[in-house]
């Protein structure tokens, strides 16, 4: 089963195209594929040995675009990437408004400098600073849905941690943290309880 494919729906040829993660399954999730559009972050290192899959939750701690158009979101991401030492090193960034678009910025099969000691993990970040902003429940649902889709694609039960679980930081913000799984509080996700729903996919992106 091909669990990642191009989507022709809502495709804007002037903007990054869409990919479906876990395509054809109950966890199918659409992401905007912006890899290679700009250099979002310097590469940390390539994986030489396959690592156990791990999802790490972050926030970007940056500004949220005032407009919800696809173009406005992309422009805000580019500004954010140019403003920090490490750019935007997350694999995925979930937007707080509108349809909570998910932007796929950095390839999941490479290491990016998002989490000291765990750069091989897959980082899902919420756009904004959730030490000050109140997160929308629908945004949190999108973050968890993406985790379910990735786990389905990989065919694995994947631990879900927060940045603060592995490094002394407030990330992903004290207002968002209680709403997400963490190292000592794993959620009972659907895919964890339904082995038949897991697997059948490739570990590569096409």
- Per residue in 127-162, pLDDT (tens digit) is 999 999 999 999 999 999 999 999 999 888 889 999
Task: Give the mean pLDDT of 183-192.
Answer: 67
Residue 184: pLDDT band (50, 70, 90) is confident
pLDDT value of position 163: 96
Residue 189: pLDDT band (50, 70, 90) is low
The lowest-confidence range among 35-39, 89-93, 175-179 is: 35-39
pLDDT value of position 88: 94
pLDDT value of position 99: 83
- Per residue in 1-59, pLDDT (tens digit) is 334 443 333 333 346 789 999 999 989 999 999 998 899 998 886 554 445 689 999 99
Q: Decide if pLDDT at 123 tops 60.
A: yes
Residue 92: pLDDT band (50, 70, 90) is very high
pLDDT value of position 65: 78
pLDDT value of position 6: 36
Q: What is the mean pLDDT of the chain?
A: 81
What distance in Å separates the CA atoms of residue 128 and residue 9, rounded to the nearest whole number? Answer: 27
What distance in Å separates the CA atoms of residue 113 and residue 1, rounded to the nearest whole number? Answer: 32
- By residue count, the chain amounts to 206
Q: Decide if pLDDT at 201 tops 50.
A: no
pLDDT value of position 9: 37
- Phi first, then psi, for residue 158 (nearest 5°) are -105, 125
Cα dihedral 166, 90, 104, 173 sign: positive
Q: Name 138's Cβ contacts closer than 8 Å, sequence gap at least 6.
A: 100
Hey, what domains does the chain have and what are their CATH numbers? 50-197 (3.40.80.10)
């Amino acid at each position: 089963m091909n669990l990642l494919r191009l989507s022709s729906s809502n495709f804007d040829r002037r903007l990054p195209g869409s990919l479906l993660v876990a395509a054809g399954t109950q966890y199918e999730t659409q992401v905007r594929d912006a890899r290679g559009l700009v250099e979002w972050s310097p590469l940390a290192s390539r994986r030489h040995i396959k690592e156990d899959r791990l999802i790490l939750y972050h926030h970007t701690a940056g500004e949220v675009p005032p407009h919800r158009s696809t173009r406005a979101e992309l422009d805000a991401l580019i500004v954010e990437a140019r403003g920090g030492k490490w750019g935007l090193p997350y694999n995925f960034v979930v937007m707080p408004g509108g349809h909570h678009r998910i932007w796929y910025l950095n390839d999941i099969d490479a290491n990016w400098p998002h989490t000291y000691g765990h750069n091989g993990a897959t980082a899902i970040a919420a756009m904004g600073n959730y030490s000050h902003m109140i997160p929308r429940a629908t945004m949190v649902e999108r973050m968890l849905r993406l985790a379910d889709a990735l786990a389905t694609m990989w065919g694995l039960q994947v631990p879900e941690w927060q940045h603060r679980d592995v490094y002394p930081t407030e990330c992903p913000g004290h207002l968002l943290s209680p709403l997400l799984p963490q190292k000592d509080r794993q959620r009972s996700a659907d895919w964890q309880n339904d082995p038949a729903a897991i697997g059948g996919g490739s570990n590569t992106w096409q």
